[in-house]
Structure 1
Amino acid sequence: MAALTWLLIPVAAAAAAAIWARWAARRRSTGDGASLAGYERFRQAMQASSAVAAGAGGAPVAALDKDTSSDGEEDSPRGPVVGPVP
């Protein structure tokens, strides 16, 4: 009888895990297709504008951010930029 009790705990845990996994994997519909379509249009517009900016001068946009001064100082009134620029 005692062995059956010890076996009952892992079996109950496995059953609970299976029920939770089925619940977590259920298909949910959010109904926000219009906002997702708007986001997709925005993302495509941003990609198109970055491609145009990169191809306009013949140089990629990242190449325009390089420091070309000989003394290594930046022309910003706030000093050098640290980290990624938003």
Structure 2
Amino acid sequence: MAALTWLLIPLMAAIGAGLWGSWAGRNRKSAGDGVELAGYTRFREAMERTDAAERSPSDAL
């Protein structure tokens, strides 16, 4: 009976890992690449505006 108990430990771990893997790999439709890319685009545009505003005419030489 003790050997059966020791065999149940890896079995339960495998079942738990399978459940966690299916939960972690689920399809999340609320946030996707579109949201992240839009945020990155806003960030990039803000950085370009800041960079252009800080330049002085003497920097162009």
Normalised TM-score (structure 1): 0.47
Question: For residues 31 and 2 of structure 2, what CA distance do their matches in structure 1 show?
Answer: 52
How far apart are 1:9 and its partner, in Å? 1.9
Deviations 1:39-83 (A, max 9, x none): 34431321111221343252xxxxxxxxxxxxxxxxxxxxxxxxx
- Point out the structure with max Rg over C-alpha: 1
- Identical aligned pairs, as a percentage? 39
The letter of the residue matching 1:18 is G
1:45 aligns with 2:45: yes
Question: 5+ unaligned residues in a row in structure 1: which ranges?
Answer: 59-86
**1:29 shift after superposition:** 0.9
Instruction: Give the alignment's Cα RMSD to 1 decimal.
Output: 2.6
* 4+ residue runs over 2 A deviation: 31-34, 39-42, 53-58
Identify which of structures 1 and 2 has the higher relative contact order when contacts are C-alpha pairs closer than 8 Å and 6+ apart. 1
Structure 1 42/12 Cα, relative in aligned 2: closer, same or farther at 3 Å? Answer: same
Q: In structure 2, do the counterparts of structure 1 residues 31 and 22 end up closer, same or farther at CA, with 3 Å as the change threshold?
A: closer
- Structure with the largest fraction of helix: 2
Cα pair distance change 1:31/1:13, threshold 3 Å: closer
| Alpha-carbon distance between aligned partners in 2 of 1:12 and 1:23, rounded to the nearest angstrom | 16
Corresponding residue pairs, total: 56
Structure 2 gap ranges (5+): none
